């Protein structure tokens, strides 16, 4: 039997091709056409299933989709989805942890090294004709021997630890919600209280979900607990960090630098002071944005939709 799936996000043709390549035979993938919200809502009327990335889903969205049976998130951040409205319609929502771990872990290491080795400054100045062979030596660092503090030690935090161990970093972590503690010797990671992590770490890397409890929990008082030589890495969610406090901490040299893939407002505004700082490396929410990850995600997404069709329990259900 054929089903119609709508991709409730704007993307590029090549991304749509990857998604479509993983769909079951006979299934139809709808992609949004035009530039009007009214037009997009109109396309929902034939959708049996919805795949969403980072767009919101509201009562208005659901009202335009009378045939909708299930919403499948291609990631794990569901704060923009009206779960009460889904529950009222008895429409299940499922997440997709698959395809995220490796990309985010690799990107975390990338940001650490880019900040430490002043990569953006070196590249920019070289292109402008300035040869900084000696000019960055007093402000560049190695990951080896540094203490990496992981806030959150779930699948991504542990994947970062595994990779950081290969760089001879010392790894500590804090995660009061970890359901199963890893073996003490796992990647030589040591669990510590949060205050100790902030105080001891050369690098603080965030790997927690966005909840009411974690919203802006990286605040100015917490930046002041960090070493003045420390850097902050965020590949999790922008709202976990109080961005104005981070800007103040960077401007006053309360901390030494940051590597950020996520922001409180996305896309980031052109007048954001972070864009002018040479001790900050910024990327546009691309940590898990590889074609390898997308293929793996879509295989998992369509497998879950097929479970629903067969009447089997779906994986990673939220509602």
- Residue 317 in any domain: the answer is no
Question: Looking at the structure, do residues 218 and 140 belong to the same domain, yes or no?
Answer: yes
List the single range of 57-66, 121-130, 162-171, 176-185 with lowest mean pLDDT.
176-185
User: From the candidates 216, 285, 307, 315, which is the catalytic residue?
Assistant: 285
Q: Is the distance from CB of 222 to CB of 194 less than 8 angstroms?
A: no
- DSSP SS3 for 146: coil
Position 155 confidence tier, pLDDT thresholds 50, 70, 90: very high
Question: Looking at the structure, do residues 267 and 302 belong to the same domain, yes or no?
Answer: no
Task: Give the predicted TM-score (pTM) of the model.
Answer: 0.92
- Residue 319 in any domain: the answer is no
Q: What is the mean pLDDT of the segment spanning 178-192?
A: 81
- Residue 316 in any domain: the answer is no
Helix (H) or strand (E) holding 152: none
| CA distances, 23 to each of 2, 12, 15, 91, 308 (Å) | 11, 17, 13, 21, 15
Question: Looking at the structure, do residues 94 and 108 belong to the same domain, yes or no?
Answer: no
Active site residue 264: no
- Residue 170 in any domain: the answer is yes
Active site residue 266: yes
Asked if the model's pLDDT at residue 115 lies above 80, the reply is yes
Question: Looking at the structure, do residues 137 and 161 belong to the same domain, yes or no?
Answer: yes
- Residue 118 in any domain: the answer is yes
Question: Looking at the structure, do residues 47 and 105 belong to the same domain, yes or no?
Answer: no
Q: d(Cα 31, Cα 33) in Å, to the nearest integer?
A: 6
Position 132 confidence tier, pLDDT thresholds 50, 70, 90: very high
User: From the candidates 107, 222, 237, 296, which is the catalytic residue?
Assistant: 237
Asked if the model's pLDDT at residue 221 lies above 80, the reply is yes
Among the listed residues 69, 97, 43, 32, the one whose alpha carbon sits nearest the alpha carbon of residue 306: 69
Q: Model confidence over 2-47: pLDDT tens digits? A: 999 999 999 999 999 999 999 999 999 999 999 999 999 999 999 9
- DSSP SS3 for 156: helix
Position 186 confidence tier, pLDDT thresholds 50, 70, 90: confident
- Residue 314 in any domain: the answer is no
CATH code, 49: 3.40.50.720
What's the pLDDT score for residue 21? 97
What's the pLDDT score for residue 42? 95
Position 185 confidence tier, pLDDT thresholds 50, 70, 90: low
Question: Looking at the structure, do residues 123 and 9 belong to the same domain, yes or no?
Answer: no
Question: Looking at the structure, do residues 204 and 215 belong to the same domain, yes or no?
Answer: yes
- Residue 315 in any domain: the answer is no
**How far from each other are the two terminal CA atoms of the chain, in whole angstroms?**
25
Q: d(Cα 87, Cα 237) in Å, to the nearest integer?
A: 25
> Domain tally for the chain?
2
Question: Looking at the structure, do residues 121 and 261 belong to the same domain, yes or no?
Answer: yes
Question: Looking at the structure, do residues 33 and 87 belong to the same domain, yes or no?
Answer: yes
**Residues forming beta bridges with residue 200, ordered by sequence position:** none
Domain membership of residue 12 as a residue range: 4-99+290-309
Question: Looking at the structure, do residues 26 and 151 belong to the same domain, yes or no?
Answer: no
Question: Looking at the structure, do residues 201 and 59 belong to the same domain, yes or no?
Answer: no
Question: Looking at the structure, do residues 79 and 142 belong to the same domain, yes or no?
Answer: no
What's the pLDDT score for residue 184? 56
């Amino acid at each position: 039997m054929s089903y119609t799936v709508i991709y409730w996000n704007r993307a590029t043709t090549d991304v749509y091709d990857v998604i479509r390549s993983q769909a079951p035979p006979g299934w139809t993938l709808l992609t949004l056409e035009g530039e009007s919200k009214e037009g997009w809502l109109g396309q929902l009327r034939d959708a049996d299933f919805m795949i969403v990335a980072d767009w919101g889903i509201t009562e208005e969205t659901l009202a335009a989709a009378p045939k909708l049976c299930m919403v499948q998130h291609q990631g794990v951040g569901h704060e923009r989805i009206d779960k009460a409205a889904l529950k009222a319609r008895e429409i299940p929502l499922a997440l997709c942890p698959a395809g995220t771990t490796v990309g985010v872990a690799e990107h975390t290491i990338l940001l650490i090294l880019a900040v430490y080795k002043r990569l953006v400054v070196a590249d920019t100045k070289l292109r402008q004709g300035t040869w900084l062979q000696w000019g960055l030596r007093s402000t560049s660092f190695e990951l080896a021997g540094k203490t990496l503090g992981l806030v959150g030690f779930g699948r991504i935090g542990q994947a970062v630890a595994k990779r950081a161990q290969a760089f001879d970093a010392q790894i500590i972590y804090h995660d009061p919600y970890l359901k199963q503690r890893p073996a003490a010797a796992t990647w030589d990671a040591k669990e510590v209280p949060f205050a100790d992590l902030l105080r001891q770490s050369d690098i603080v890397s965030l790997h927690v979900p966005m909840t009411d409890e974690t919203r802006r929990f990286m605040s100015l008082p917490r930046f002041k607990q960090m070493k003045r030589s420390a850097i902050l890495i965020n590949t999790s969610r922008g709202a976990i960090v109080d961005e104005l406090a981070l800007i103040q901490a960077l401007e006053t040299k309360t901390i030494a630098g940051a590597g950020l893939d996520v922001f409180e407002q996305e896309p980031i505004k052109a007048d954001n002071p972070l864009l002018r700082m040479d001790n900050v490396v910024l990327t546009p929410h691309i940590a898990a944005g590889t074609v390898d990850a997308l293929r793996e995600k879509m295989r998992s997404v369509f497998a879950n939709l097929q479970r629903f069709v067969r009447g089997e329990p779906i994986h990673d259900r939220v509602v």
